[in-house]
Structure 1
Amino acid sequence: MSRSTAAEAPWMVLVGPAGAGKTSLGREIAARAHRPFVDLDAAADSYYAQVGWSIARLRGRIGAVGRPTAEAEWEPARAHAVACVVIDHPGAVIALGAGHTSYSDHQHLATVRTALEPCREVIRILPHPDRDISLAVLRRRCTASKGRSWIIDGRDFLAGWVDDPGTRTVATRTVYTLDETPAQTAARLLGNG
């Protein structure tokens, strides 16, 4: 897999925990900037299949070994998906799901970091600068929109994503959405709000 140059890289990549609003914000930014939008969570199945994974296999492994162990086994497929989406979508606005920048194995994080290096902007999205406020807002959003708190098998995935050092290292900056709508945050990020 060859590395992208800055000219061939995605125009903007959004990272952060579940419930941060990456998809809504990404769609808004892409529309305003006249760029294609890619949500890796929606597009990743074909990339996972290239390395022998699928969401069905992940579900099966979760049932067999529990979510934390299955997530660790799935890491190579997630890193592969990030590397591929960066190459396949130059000039796009891309939203990466929370797990696509959070790894227990440093080798997989290094793969993602290398893939994202040519990207002009990799923006970490959080609701608030205060960690506990962010976590409370995200938990409320995830419970309301997906019916899940992200506390699974005794592990708080949402807190892990908020605190994840890997996500911070791949980001070029962190943006706090506070009480803004996606349109307001997009306007601010694009310098016309």
Structure 2
Amino acid sequence: QQGGMNALIPYWKPFDVHAVERVLSDYPTGHVIAFGAGHSVYEDEAQFVRVQTALANFPQVILILPAPDVDESLDVLRQHLIESEPDLTAEVVDGLTEINRRFLMHPSNTRLATITIYNAGQSAEVTCREIERQLNAK
């Protein structure tokens, strides 16, 4: 009950692993499944391997990021957070930005992804077309 989000994230990890395994087991084909950053970043190698194993039968694992540059991505994500949650204090925004920094810099994302899409400044429609283009190219 102490430590805020920094304490909560490691506590959640076993549940995140189970969620990934369960969703992929329940929906093995014909679905687009969108996981959040918490479902792809693991400090514990055994947890990472479980998720990697669960994803092994899925040839397209797409990582969507604002930009290749971490600082640029953080700026985009921070601005989106401020615009979508205007009542958040600067302290909360700063804390979430640091959590996003850890997510963006962690190697789990690139180890799991088979395709990476960068979409800063793009509409959802443009991003969808880029995903389709890359899927069709494989």
Partner of 1:163: 105
Structure 1 residue 66: deviation in Å?
A: 2.8
Structure 1 residue 140: deviation in Å?
A: 0.9
1:71-99 deviation per Cα after TM superposition (whole angstroms, max 9, x unaligned): 11221111000011111112200110110
| Aligned 8 A contact 2:17 2:51 in 1 | yes
Mean Cα displacement is larger for which, 78-87 or 100-109?
100-109
| Aligned 8 A contact 2:61 2:115 in 1 | yes
| Percent identical residues | 34
Cα RMSD for the two superposed structures: 1.9
Higher strand share: 1
Partner of 2:95: 151
Q: Are positions 1:176 and 2:114 aligned together?
A: no
CA distance in structure 2 between the aligned counterparts of 1:97 and 1:151, rounded to whole angstroms: 18
Partner of 1:74: 12
| Aligned 8 A contact 2:63 2:109 in 1 | yes
Other structure's SS at 1:149 match = helix
CA distance in structure 1 between the aligned counterparts of 2:51 and 2:94, rounded to whole angstroms: 23
* Alignment counterpart, residue 100 of structure 1, candidates 26, 30, 39: 39
Q: Are positions 1:126 and 2:74 aligned together?
A: no
| Aligned 8 A contact 2:117 2:130 in 1 | no
CA distance in structure 1 between the aligned counterparts of 2:95 and 2:45, rounded to whole angstroms: 24
Other structure's SS at 1:96 match = coil
Unaligned runs of 5+ in 2: none
| Aligned 8 A contact 2:66 2:120 in 1 | yes
Q: Are positions 1:185 and 2:127 aligned together?
A: yes
1:29-70 deviation per Cα after TM superposition (whole angstroms, max 9, x unaligned): xxxxxxxxxxxxxxxxxxxxxxxxxxxxxxxxxx33432222
Kindly indicate whether structure 1 or structure 2 has the higher relative contact order, using CA contacts under 8 Å at least 6 residues apart. 1
1:88-126 deviation per Cα after TM superposition (whole angstroms, max 9, x unaligned): 112200110110111221111111111111112111111
Partner of 1:114: 53
CA 1:70/1:188 → structure 2, altered by over 3 Å: closer, same or farther? closer
